[in-house]
A and B are shown apart, each in its own frame.
Chain A
Amino acid sequence: MKVLVTVKEVAAVEDEFQIDGTAIDEAYLEYDLNEWDDYAIEEGVQISESVDDVEVVSVTIGPERSEETIRMALAKGADRAIRVWDDSLEGAELLDVEAKTDILAAVVEEEQPDLVLSGVQADDDGFGATGVSLADEVGFEWAAVVNDLDLDVDEGVASVHRELEGGVEELTDVELPAVLTIQTGINEPRYASLRGIRQAQRKEIAPMTLDDLGLGAEVADSDLDIVDMYEPESESDAVIFEGSAEDSAGELAAVLRDGGVGQ
Chain B
Amino acid sequence: MSDVLAVAEHRRGELRDVSYELVTVGSQLADATGGDLHVAVVSGDVDRYAEELDVEGVDTIHTVEDGEEFNHDVYAQVVEQLYDAVDPQVLLTPNSVNGLDYGPAVANALDLTYVSDAVDVELEGSTLTATREMYGGKVETTTEVEADAVAVSIRSAEWPATEAAGDAVVESFDATIDESAVKSTVTGFEEVGGGDVDITEADVLVSVGRGIEEEENLDLVRDLADALDATLSSSRPIVDNGWLPKNRQVGQSGKVVTPEFYIAIGISGAVQHVAGMKGAENIVAINTDPNAPIFDIADYGIVDDLFDVVPALIEEFEG
Query: What are 26 sample pairs from A and B whose C-beta atoms fall under 8 A apart?
Result: A13-B136, A97-B114, A123-B135, A133-B104, A133-B108, A144-B97, A163-B97, A163-B253, A166-B252, A166-B255, A171-B186, A184-B236, A184-B237, A188-B242, A224-B143, A224-B145, A226-B141, A231-B140, A232-B137, A236-B298, A249-B309, A252-B300, A252-B302, A253-B317, A261-B228, A262-B229
Q: How far is the CB of A129 from chain B (nearest CB, A)?
A: 4
Among A111-156, those with CB < 8 Å from B are: 123-133, 135-137, 141-145
Among A4-21, those with CB < 8 Å from B are: 11-13, 15-17, 19
Counting CB contacts under 8 A, is A1 at the interface? no
Mask of B168-206 contacts with A, CB within 8 angstroms, 1/0: 000000000000000111111111100000000000100
**Within the complex, which residue of B11, B129, B183, B293 is in contact with A174, where a contact is CB–CB below 8 Å?**
B183
A240 pairs with B303, CB closer than 8 A: yes
Among A154-199, those with CB < 8 Å from B are: 159, 161-175, 184-185, 188
**Within the complex, which residue of A174, A235, A241, A259 is in contact with B261, where a contact is CB–CB below 8 Å?**
A259
Residues of B within 8 A of A27 (CB): none
Mask of B217-232 contacts with A, CB within 8 angstroms, 1/0: 0000000000111100
**A135 to B299 Cα, complex, angstroms:** 45
Among B1-48, those with CB < 8 Å from A are: 11-12
A135, closest chain B residue (CB): B105
Counting CB contacts under 8 A, is A216 at the interface? no
A13 pairs with B138, CB closer than 8 A: yes
Residues of A within 8 A of B161 (CB): none
Q: What total of A-B pairs shows CB separation below 8 Å?
A: 263
Counting CB contacts under 8 A, is B90 at the interface? no
**Within the complex, which residue of A11, A165, A240, A261 is in contact with B253, where a contact is CB–CB below 8 Å?**
A165
**A159 to B187 Cα, complex, angstroms:** 9
A interface bracket (residues with beta carbon within 8 Å of B): 35 or more
Q: What 8 pairs between A and B have smallest CB-CB spacing?
A: A249-B312, A245-B308, A253-B316, A129-B104, A185-B240, A228-B142, A136-B105, A133-B104
Q: How far is the CB of A34 from chain B (nearest CB, A)?
A: 11
**A128 to B99 Cα, complex, angstroms:** 11
**Within the complex, which residue of A16, A125, A128, A245 is in contact with B309, where a contact is CB–CB below 8 Å?**
A245
B302 pairs with A240, CB closer than 8 A: yes
B247, closest chain A residue (CB): A167
Q: How far is the CB of A15 from chain B (nearest CB, A)?
A: 5
Write the residues of chain B forming the contact surface with A, with a CB cutoff of 8 angstroms: 11-12, 70, 72-73, 76, 95-98, 100-109, 113-117, 129, 132-146, 153, 183-192, 204, 227-230, 236-237, 239-242, 246, 249, 252-256, 260-261, 275, 282, 284-285, 289, 291, 293, 295-305, 308-309, 312-313, 315-317
Q: What does DSSP make chain A's interface, helix, strand, loop or mixed? A: mixed
B315 pairs with A249, CB closer than 8 A: yes
Contact A259:B189 (CB < 8 A) given known A185-B239, A230-B139: no
**Within the complex, which residue of A137, A171, A239 is in contact with B187, where a contact is CB–CB below 8 Å?**
A171
A132 pairs with B312, CB closer than 8 A: no
Contact A136:B204 (CB < 8 A) given known A226-B142, A241-B300, A249-B316: no
Counting CB contacts under 8 A, is A248 at the interface? yes
**A223 to B135 Cα, complex, angstroms:** 21
B253 pairs with A164, CB closer than 8 A: yes
**A141 to B71 Cα, complex, angstroms:** 12
Residues of A within 8 A of B97 (CB): 144-145, 162-165
**Within the complex, which residue of B73, B101, B204, B237 is in contact with A145, where a contact is CB–CB below 8 Å?**
B101
Residues of A within 8 A of B236 (CB): 184-185
**A249 to B297 Cα, complex, angstroms:** 20
Q: What does DSSP make chain B's interface, helix, strand, loop or mixed? A: mixed
Among A228-258, those with CB < 8 Å from B are: 228-232, 234-236, 238-242, 245-246, 248-250, 252-253, 255-256
Counting CB contacts under 8 A, is A225 at the interface? yes
Residues of B within 8 A of A163 (CB): 97, 253
Q: Residue among A128, A143, A231 with the most chain B CB within 10 A?
A: A128
**A229 to B289 Cα, complex, angstroms:** 21
**Within the complex, which residue of A136, A173, A229 is in contact with B104, where a contact is CB–CB below 8 Å?**
A136
Write the residues of chain A forming the contact surface with B, with a CB cutoff of 8 angstroms: 11-13, 15-17, 19, 22, 24, 96-98, 101, 123-133, 135-137, 141-145, 159, 161-175, 184-185, 188, 223-232, 234-236, 238-242, 245-246, 248-250, 252-253, 255-256, 259-262
Residues of B within 8 A of A142 (CB): 72, 101, 105, 184
**A242 to B187 Cα, complex, angstroms:** 54
Contact A252:B284 (CB < 8 A) given known A97-B114, A261-B204: yes
A238 pairs with B300, CB closer than 8 A: yes
Q: Residue among B186, B237, B300 with the most chain A CB within 10 A?
A: B300
Q: How far is the CB of A105 from chain B (nearest CB, A)?
A: 9
A241 pairs with B187, CB closer than 8 A: no
A132 pairs with B101, CB closer than 8 A: yes
**A242 to B290 Cα, complex, angstroms:** 12
**A256 to B192 Cα, complex, angstroms:** 31
Contact A169:B304 (CB < 8 A) given known A228-B142, A253-B316: no
